[in-house]
Amino acid sequence: MEPIVTITSGAVRGHTEAGVTRFLGVPYAAAPVGPKRFQLPRAFPAWDGVREATRMGATCAQAPYPAPIHALIGSDGIPGDEYLNANVWTPDPGASGLPVLVWIHGGAFVRGSNARTIYDGTAFARDGVVMVGINYRLGVSGFAEIEGAPSNRGLHDQIFALGWVRENIAAFGGDPDNVTIFGESAGAMSVAALIAAPQTAGLFRRAIMQSGNGVVAADAEDARTVSAALAAELGISATAADFGALGPDELRTAQNAVALAVMTDPDPERWGHSVIQLGGGIMSLFPVVDHDIVEGSPTEVLRAHPDRAVPLIAGTTADEFRFFTVPTGLAAAVTADTLPFVLARYGIDLAVAQTYSTERPDASPAEIFNAILTDRTFRAGTYDFAEANAITAPTHVYEFAWPTTIPGLGACHVLEVPFVFDTIDEAHSLTGPTPPQTLADEIHAAWVRFATDGTADWAAFTAAEKNVRIFDAPESSTVTDPRSAELAALRATVTPA
């Protein structure tokens, strides 16, 4: 069956299979090519006739993941200019009033797309939710701070896409007044920025943050330092005109070179303290304080504007940072002798490691290092944002604790995603061959319930009572203020990134 719906720019034809209809690669904004690459998003030109929407659309130009990470999750790369597109899965395009989930993918603001297999929205549509996955500008195109170009173009794309959803989701059976945004990693950091942004009022009702934080917002001057390095790599001036004259391959090559320089020489005096502290050497291009969309760190903005809070689920995996250190071999290099030096690189006092070692007497130095960086980069910043949000809106916090059977990774970054989407059969390179379906059933159902009516079946998180749902197999549980001694030691000496 090939149903046709009409949206603001024209008619699109989807495909129905097993009770779920997919509309793939539907453009929500004009192709950002040439000088337009560094301009605000604009409406896609209207078309005549019926546009086919049965295949994934283009993705923003990007480099593949390094081989060890690629082996776990693959890479993205569908060529084409019309990469500001959306995928929509619906149980019935002829319905009305269905809850809506809008997915914002991760990838450190330089990689990722809505075309990834584990982001397939079939299970959400099967369970009565219209799911939308969006692309946005990445890397230099989306986040480089360039003279003559608006800041945070990738975030502007996300807001533009949410406006497109509000205008068009009823055509797919969805309720524009019952939209929940959710994202993972850079997508979750985007969610925090969107909650705090004044321009998003009325565009969504609830939010879910998976493995992000509420502090990522670079100082504009630091961001310009990175852009100057990009321009020097390309032999141009750091202006929108010069950058706009280049193609995506040239931009990507320079972006990769600068990202490698930041990782190998994470000197805050060279790159700026906010880039190194907040990016942690992993991210060199990410949202910038522009006093427009991003008025400051999302957590601080939310504390100053509690009226912007929305019902929220936020959480992390138990072993986030192992994803970045185990496959790449960095973890193997962390020993009792090297631990003080690698902690110092991140500005962490050795006394913090002593507390973690006391709390985890059987943990190796590498496991201690990963636990500290997990908390510094993800958990502490998630708790802080959740606490600020909880002042005026219902807030629920979780931890995904089930460990993959892939050696050394534990409950690493990205691992919860296929469970949320109920796509674990497509993720065995990350989960191992026998992930527990019961856990996927549980966490997927929790997201469906929250998107439907804003409720969760575990106790809320507040400053006074930090309840956390531990998603695990064979059984999940709710605990209060887990590993508080470790977080206290971390906060005493380090500002969470």
Q: How many alpha carbons lie under 13 Å from residue 81 in its C-beta half-sphere?
A: 10
52 part of the active site = no
Instruction: Please report, in angstroms and rounded to a whole number, the separation of the first and last CA atoms in the chain.
Output: 49
Helix (H, G, I), strand (E, B) or coil at 52: strand
Cα distance between residue 143 and residue 284, in whole Å? 10
316 by DSSP, 3-state: which? strand
Neighbouring C-beta atoms of residue 2, cutoff 10 Å: 12
Strand partners, 168: none
Helix 365-374 to helix 350-359 angle (10° resolution) is 110
| List 156, 396, 413, 444, catalytic entry | 413
Active-site residue, selected from the candidate residues 145, 295, 320, 486: 320
Q: Is 147 labeled as catalytic in the residue annotation?
A: no
**Residue carrying structure tokens 């034809």:** 13
Task: Give me the catalytic one of 151, 185, 274, 357.
Answer: 185
Active site residue 185: yes
Q: How far apart are CA 246 and CA 242, in angstroms?
A: 7
Question: How many angstroms from the chain centroid is the CA of residue 70?
Answer: 18
Other beta carbons within 10 Å of 450: 24
Q: Name the phi and psi angles at 183, rounded to 5.
A: -160, 165
* Distance, CA of 352 to CA of 343 (rounded, Å): 9
The answer to whether the Cα torsion of 234, 235, 240, 245 is positive or negative is negative
- How far is residue 454's CA from residue 204's CA, in Å, rounded to a whole number? 12
Please give the positions annotated as active site.
Answer: 185, 320, 413
